[in-house]
């Protein structure tokens, strides 16, 4: 695999060039800098056929062999983390150090996932029989990935799916396909042909995949609106689905926090990746006793940090990733201004490219759009509260339920609040944490199913129950 060669898809272990190309734009300049293949329905058919052909051989391998392949892939990615990172910054926008960080983290994640085991559950072991539940691969998996964490979130699907004995067709976002295409090339060395196929294309490719009868499962990460379409399409032939969707995560700041000690971390948890993080803090509820102090501290951080081209030294935060998202976030800002909301902004940003100043909104009404919608951009509403029961109710009053956080000087008190939050994950005095051994799931409209940990691995399997008699003859 070479980073200097044209971008190609991987179908059946070989290069595939698609039908025409799509332009890939660098969000720091707003200009195209590379081209990726555009797959059509025939390319998709070829990828699914290759995955189906490779399935019997791959699932029949001892799990140790599949583990070995994953460890090899992990090492190869880690060895090329800098090259992947540079490409990542060009296509996604994130500052280089953090881009390399995502690649290294993904390499770690694959290796860690390879240590998981598929259990055989014994539900009865009596004098007459033994009942064993095995976990068989679900089959051919479609992995559909968004643009905000294009590498790590692909790995969250690829590693467990492969370990469990499935084969895949991976589709990155049309905005960020390049690292995934190179990943497909890199993996050829470690996997039999057809086990992992990577195809890129335009908006039409996702719906073609979810409707394709050759898939047994769709593993999807993206917006709630698209997730609903995926589920509807998958329902036609009852494909299994895992949907990791949007969030509008609340963090609750209790009055006993040490503002100076926590401000930097709270800021980072809201604005990392220019706030294009599903589990970013998107509503910050601050007790009135510490509201002014924390607001001023956060505003000082916003004025200190630099928003700029991620490939340039000194850029702490990058651009928004794509033009539609940029226009959407600018629209939210314009609306907030028109409503007379108080915006506390950070330093000026470059004029060219999809840059937006880091923005705090000073205590807007709860019903304003900047509070109610997932902005997925650097606009953080700060919301004042005085009563704990009332703020928990406000935090939970959302169609989403992905993650949340509680910040307090008293851990027990914070845990008691965390237990009342209606989200799949709650952090105490921290944020943005995940591990390969910990299930990650959204409640309400933040998703269906689980990624990561043993429950995430089992989502790529189908239970198969064996009733085994203890005597050799059939019994009545
Ligand atoms: P998106 O839903 O627009 O796109 C996600 C993927 O789905 C892309 O690959 C896209 O090409 C594809 N797609 C688009 N329409 C499709 C269709 N009709 N059928 C099948 N596939 C289709 O999401 P996005 O804008 O790329 O990502 C941002 C969203 O993702 C945010 O809402 C964010 O919260 C969410 N997200 C969730 C998680 C999580 O783990 N819960 C993680 C990251 C991002």
pLDDT tens digit sequence for 175-184 = 999 999 999 9
pLDDT at 298 over 80: yes
Per-residue buried b or exposed e for 148-162, using 16+ beta carbons within 10 Å of the residue's own CB: bbbbbbbbbbbbbbb
For position 471, what pLDDT does the model report? 82
Distance 279 CA to ligand 1 centre (A): 14
pLDDT tens digit sequence for 261-280 = 999 999 999 999 999 999 99
Residue nearest to atom 18 of ligand 1 (CA): 207
H helices present in 252-385, as ranges: 259-271, 288-304, 323-338, 369-372
pLDDT at 475 over 60: no
Cβ neighbors of 85 (< 8 A, separation 6 or more) are: 96, 99, 100, 101, 102, 103
Which of 222, 236, 354 to mutate to test ligand 1, by most ligand atoms within 8 A of the CB atom?
222
For position 473, what pLDDT does the model report? 65
- Kindly report the pTM of this predicted structure: 0.97
Strand, helix or coil for residue 291: helix
For position 474, what pLDDT does the model report? 61
Angstrom CA distances, 352 to 323, 357, 379, 444, stand at: 12, 13, 20, 38
Three-state SS across 189-250?
A: CCCCCCCEEECCCCCCHHHHHHHCCCCCEEEEECCHHHHHHHHHHHHCCCCEEEEECCCCCE
From the CA of 207, give the closest atom in ligand 1. 19
pLDDT tens digit sequence for 441-460 = 999 999 999 999 999 999 99
Distance 219 CA to ligand 1 centre (A): 11
Set 278, 374, 451, 459: catalytic member: 278
Per-residue buried b or exposed e for 332-351, using 16+ beta carbons within 10 Å of the residue's own CB: bbeebeeeebeebbbeebee
Distance 206 CA to ligand 1 centre (A): 10
pLDDT tens digit sequence for 147-169 = 999 999 999 999 999 999 999 99
From the CA of 156, give the closest atom in ligand 1. 40
pLDDT tens digit sequence for 41-86 = 999 999 999 999 999 999 999 999 999 999 999 999 999 999 999 9
- Per the annotation, the verdict on 179 as an active-site residue is no
Q: In what order do the strands lie in the sheet with 129-137?
A: 121-125, 129-137, 461-469
Distance 175 CA to ligand 1 centre (A): 11
Residue in 51, 41, 44 with CA at minimum distance from that of residue 12: 51
CATH of 9-245+446-465, one of 3.40.50.2000, 3.40.50.300, 3.40.605.10, 3.40.50.1970: 3.40.605.10
What is the average pLDDT across 285-292?
98
Strand, helix or coil for residue 386: coil
Q: Pocket around ligand 1: residues whose beta carbon is below 6 Å from it?
A: 144-149, 153, 171, 173-174, 206-207, 210, 221-223, 226, 229-230, 244-247, 278, 374, 376, 402, 442, 447
Give the whole-angstrom CA distance, residue 347 versus residue 121.
Answer: 57
pLDDT at 239 over 90: yes
For position 476, what pLDDT does the model report? 55
Domain with CATH 3.40.309.10 in the chain: 250-428
Set 91, 102, 244, 459: catalytic member: 244
Give the H/E segment covering residue 157: helix 152-163
Domain with CATH 3.40.605.10 in the chain: 9-245+446-465
- Per the annotation, the verdict on 366 as an active-site residue is no
Cβ neighbors of 340 (< 8 A, separation 6 or more) are: none
* Superfamily of structural domain 250-428: Aldehyde Dehydrogenase; Chain A, domain 2 (3.40.309.10)
Which residues are 461's β-sheet partners? 137
How high is the mean pLDDT of the chain?
97
Cβ neighbors of 255 (< 8 A, separation 6 or more) are: 287, 288, 289, 290
């Amino acid at each position: 695999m070479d980073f200097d060669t044209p971008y190609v898809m991987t179908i059946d272990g070989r290069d595939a060039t698609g039908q025409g190309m799509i332009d890939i734009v660098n969000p720091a300049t707003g200009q195209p800098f590379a081209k990726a293949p555009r797959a059509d329905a025939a390319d998709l058919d070829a990828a699914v056929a290759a995955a189906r052909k490779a399935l019997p051989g791959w699932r029949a391998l001892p799990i140790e062999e599949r583990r070995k392949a994953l460890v090899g892939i992990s090492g190869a990615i880690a060895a090329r983390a800098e090259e992947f990172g540079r490409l990542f910054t060009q296509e996604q926008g994130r500052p280089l150090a953090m881009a390399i960080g995502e690649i290294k983290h993904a390499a770690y994640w694959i290796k860690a996932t390879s240590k998981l085991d598929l259990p055989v559950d014994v539900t009865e072991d009596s004098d007459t029989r033994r009942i064993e539940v095995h976990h068989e691969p679900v089959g051919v998996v479609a992995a559909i990935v968004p643009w905000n964490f294009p590498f790590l979130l692909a790995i969250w699907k690829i590693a467990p799916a492969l370990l469990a004995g499935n084969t895949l067709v991976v589709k990155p976002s049309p905005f960020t396909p390049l690292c995934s295409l190179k990943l497909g090339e890199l993996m050829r060395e470690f996997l039999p042909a057809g086990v992992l196929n990577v195809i890129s294309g335009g908006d039409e490719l996702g719906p073609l995949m979810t409707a394709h009868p050759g898939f047994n499962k769709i593993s999807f990460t993206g917006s709630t609106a698209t997730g609903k379409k995926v589920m509807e399409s998958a329902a036609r032939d009852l494909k299994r689905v895992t949907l990791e969707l949007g969030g509008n995560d609340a963090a609750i700041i209790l009055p006993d926090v040490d503002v100076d000690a926590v401000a930097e971390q709270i800021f980072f948890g809201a604005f990392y990746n220019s706030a294009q993080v599903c589990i970013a803090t998107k509503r910050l509820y601050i007790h009135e006793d510490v509201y002014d102090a924390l607001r001023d501290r956060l505003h000082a951080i916003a004025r200190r940090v630099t928003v700029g081209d991620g490939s340039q030294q000194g850029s702490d935060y990058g651009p928004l990733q794509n033009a539609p998202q940029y226009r959407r976030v600018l629209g939210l800002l314009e609306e907030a201004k028109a409503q007379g909301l108080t915006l506390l902004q950070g330093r000026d940003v470059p004029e060219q490219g999809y840059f937006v100043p880091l923005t705090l909104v000073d205590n807007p009404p709860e019903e304003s759009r900047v509070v109610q919608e997932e902005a997925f951009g650097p606009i953080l509403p700060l919301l004042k509260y005085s009563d704990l029961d009332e703020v928990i109710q406000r935090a939970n009053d959302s169609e989403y339920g992905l993650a949340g956080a509680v910040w307090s000087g008293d851990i027990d008190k914070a845990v008691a609040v965390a237990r009342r939050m209606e989200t799949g994950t709650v952090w105490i005095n921290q944020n943005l944490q995940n591990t390969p051994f910990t299930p990650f799931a959204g409640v309400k409209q933040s998703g269906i199913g689980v990624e990561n940990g043993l429950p995430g691995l089992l989502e790529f399997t189908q239970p198969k129950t064996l009733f085994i008699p203890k005597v050799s003859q059939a019994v009545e």
